[in-house]
Structure 1
Amino acid sequence: MKTFNWSAEAEKLWDKNSESWNSKSREMWEEGSRKDIVSFFEKHINKGSRVCDLGCGDGYGSYKLALAGYNVTGIDVSEEMIHKAKALNADTCAEFIKGDISCLSFEENSVDAVLAINSLEWTESPLNVLKEMQRIVKPEGRACIGILGPTAAPRVNSYRRLYNEKVICNTMMPWEFEALAQENGWVKIDELGVYKKASEQLPKGSLPVNLKQSLSFMWVFMLENMKQKGMGEE
């Protein structure tokens, strides 16, 4: 039986989808579901900080962060995405590396913050990615993580898991990710709900967070690394 190689299959998928993703990326970041992420990021991370954009795709988020004054390195498993990211960021200081975000090449405590928008769902083990984030982010550093909510489009790429087939998309709900993060050394310090237009009309002010998350298209977490200072140092 042929061994399922998660990274290789993910690279194949995103290489194939790079053109269609690139065609809608700008709209998502400027006017769509991701339009408030950079301002949310700026509330919690100082300008000039070293930031890793994990699962950077075509680099539009990295581009926005670079223009906002951050020192950005984007990482993506897809060679085609990295090619597009470098072209888009030709006039910025952002750098890009092809790689698997579950196995990062950065030294311990070497970055101030990470950004990962809808990318943990596309890893074989989100827990391993969280641990890698904690390893490279400085103590009390930040992680801005976006997880698709229940009202996002159905995850066709994850459906076949119900037949015990290996799939690329590791679907999880925002509350599941929140518990996973809090059980593994991260604390939530802020959050941002993103809703479809129909959900925006519903009164949500008095609802508990878990019900707000249930209505969301995406939930964006700002986490703080609770790793103790001195961990991993000689």
Structure 2
Amino acid sequence: MPFRKTYSKSKRPRSRAATPWYAKKYNAQQLAMKAWNATKYLKGLVNSELYHYDSTVSATISSTGFLTNLTAIAIGDSSATRTGNSILAKSINYRFKLEINSVVSGSTSVVVMLVQDTQQVADTNPIIADILQTVNPQSLLNLNTAGRFKVISRKNYFLSPSSGGKGAYEVSGFHKMYSHIRYNGATTSDTQKNGIYLLAISSEAVNVPTITGTYRLAYHDN
């Protein structure tokens, strides 16, 4: 008959209770991951409407340049306004046509830029001389203010239909963003920080090319 070990009631082996989650030891990476997962879950519960502000552009581009504010958003209650003094820019997309003046028999150079003013003078749009070293299509950034402006995009175009090149360009683009834009008042001119600007310069002083199109800023009103 095989030997069978028996235990008294007081000496019977007991299973170890599972350690509760709040008593477990976690390293920094595990804690960070748990916090990130919780944040993603909470963000998924928030239904934040994405607003859109359209800037219609129809302008001539001379050798003195053209600059316009694409974030001139006033306070209001529509899907293209703001309720306070801060918005969060999420993206900007655009479509435009750039066309040479039909009188030009040679060629025309044009630069088209999107820039953001990160150290803006409140209620004041920058001028082209603040951004570029000289006012011409081939200029580099102004060394004295190079840290002030963030270049979102820059493209140079050469219009030369008389020599077999293009007389017009149709351009589209999209840029993701994550940038707070600040205001200090209710009107479109009250941009305080991080305004976004369209800048264009051509090589023509008289027979100037044209730009027509739309720039759309997507943002959260916060």
Give TM-score, length-normalised by structure 1.
0.20
Per residue, is there more strand in 1 or in 2?
A: 2
Taking CA–CA contacts closer than 8 Å with sequence separation of 6 or more, which of the two structures ends up with the larger relative contact order?
2
Higher CA-based Rg: 2
Per residue, is there more helix in 1 or in 2?
A: 1
